[in-house]
């Protein structure tokens, strides 16, 4: 039988020590079954929550570079593309006819000479930049004027993937150029080969190849157009020598194609 614990109030004087009876100390503490179930459930819930957030944190750290690269690739490939002009098509066009042809093709243009005009435009020269048709015009002008400085990498990638600069000089013969960024070729040689093919010069006479005084890799050649001989050159360099934009594909190139009579 259990003993009742009784403490004589007369013995409970200040400074006295009272000892509990041994049977009372030997009694075990028993947690109700319901309390045990609640604690176990809370522990399991805490474990699940910790695991969920742990996986989210791990995913955000481990897969962040892949998602970043995917976002840039989407910015490059989601637009209408370069839609490069073929220089051969403009050897007999004046400035007005060339701009009309570009606009008829659906190109949105920045007229560089008008942008920086001092009232003395050269009627023999043309300088225009085609921008992505799905990009805001004012934003594109700002990117162009600032040479992409301080540009968000996604905006820069989208702009470069859909823009080119065309210049023409006709005071003495014909001198046509188009310059653009190649964000998809694996090597500089591939970028040059692709540019030659895009201009329709693959079956022409090939000349010198090498590295010019500016450090650009180049390939030259000649072609007959309407019984007239033209010389062409395609050159390329790493894109980071022209634009300082962190995050673009490592194999990015700046390419120029030139046709001269």
User: Tell me: the pLDDT tens digits for 99-158?
Assistant: 999 999 999 999 998 898 776 667 789 999 999 999 999 999 999 999 998 889 999 999
Q: How far apart (Å, rounded) are the C-alpha atoms in residues 168 and 111? A: 13
The number of distinct structural domains making up the chain is 2
Find the mean pLDDT for residues 158-187.
95
- Calculate mean pLDDT across residues 203-230: 95
Mean pLDDT of 156-173: 93
Within this chain, do residues 51 and 163 fall inside the same structural domain, yes or no? no
Are 232 and 178 contained in the same domain?
yes
User: Does residue 134 belong to any structural domain of this protein?
Assistant: yes
Q: What is the pLDDT of residues 61-102, one digit of tens each?
A: 655 556 666 887 787 887 778 999 999 999 999 999 999 999
The model's confidence at residue 208, banded by pLDDT at 50, 70 and 90, is very high
Residues 219 and 249 in one domain: yes
Q: Specify if 135 maps to a domain.
A: yes
Residue 22 maps to a domain: no
- Mapped onto helix, strand or coil, the DSSP state of residue 253 is strand
Q: Looking at the structure, do residues 136 and 252 belong to the same domain, yes or no?
A: yes
What integer pLDDT is reported at residue 31 of this predicted model?
66
Among 5-19, 50-64, 168-182, 210-224, name the one with the lowest average pLDDT: 5-19
Structural domain containing residue 65: 36-72
Which two structure tokens, joined as six digits, stand for 164?
């080119």
Q: Is the pLDDT of residue 8 over 70?
A: no
Distance CA 243, CA 183 (A): 13
Same domain, 53 and 138: no
| Same-domain pairing of 59 and 88 | no
- Is pLDDT of 36 > 90? no
Helices 64-77 + 153-161 axis angle, to 10: 30
| Same domain as 123, residue 228 | yes
**Cα dihedral 80/82/83/84 (nearest 10):** 180
Across all residues in the chain, what is the average pLDDT? Answer: 84
Distance (Å, whole) CA 75 – CA 73: 5
Using CB atoms within 10 A of its CB, is residue 239 exposed (0-12), middle (13-18) or buried (19+)?
buried
Domain membership of residue 10 (yes or no) is: no
């Amino acid at each position: 039988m259990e003993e009742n614990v009784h403490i004589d109030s007369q013995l409970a004087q200040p400074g006295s020590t009272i000892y509990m009876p041994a049977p009372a100390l030997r009694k075990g503490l028993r947690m109700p079954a319901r309390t045990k179930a609640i604690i176990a459930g809370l522990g399991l819930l805490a474990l699940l929550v910790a695991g969920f957030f742990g996986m989210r944190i791990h995913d955000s750290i481990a897969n962040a570079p892949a998602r970043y690269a995917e976002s840039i690739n989407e910015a490059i490939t989601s637009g209408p593309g370069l839609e490069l002009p073929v220089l051969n098509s403009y050897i007999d066009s004046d400035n007005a006819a060339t701009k009309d042809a570009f606009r008829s093709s659906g190109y949105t243009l920045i007229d560089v000479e008008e942008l920086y005009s001092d009232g003395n435009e050269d009627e023999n020269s043309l300088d225009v930049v085609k921008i992505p048709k799905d990009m805001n015009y004012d934003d594109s002008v700002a990117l162009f004027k600032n040479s992409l400085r301080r540009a968000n990498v996604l905006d820069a990638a989208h702009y470069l993937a859909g823009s080119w600069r065309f210049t023409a000089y006709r005071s003495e013969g014909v001198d046509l150029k188009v310059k653009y960024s190649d964000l998809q070729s694996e090597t500089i040689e591939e970028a040059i080969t692709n540019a030659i093919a895009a201009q329709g010069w693959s079956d022409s006479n090939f000349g010198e190849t090498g590295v010019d005084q500016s450090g650009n890799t180049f390939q030259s050649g000649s072609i007959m157009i309407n019984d007239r001989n033209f010389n062409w050159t395609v050159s390329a360099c790493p894109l980071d020598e022209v634009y300082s934009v962190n995050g673009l594909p490592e194999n990015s190139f700046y390419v120029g194609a030139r046709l001269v009579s």
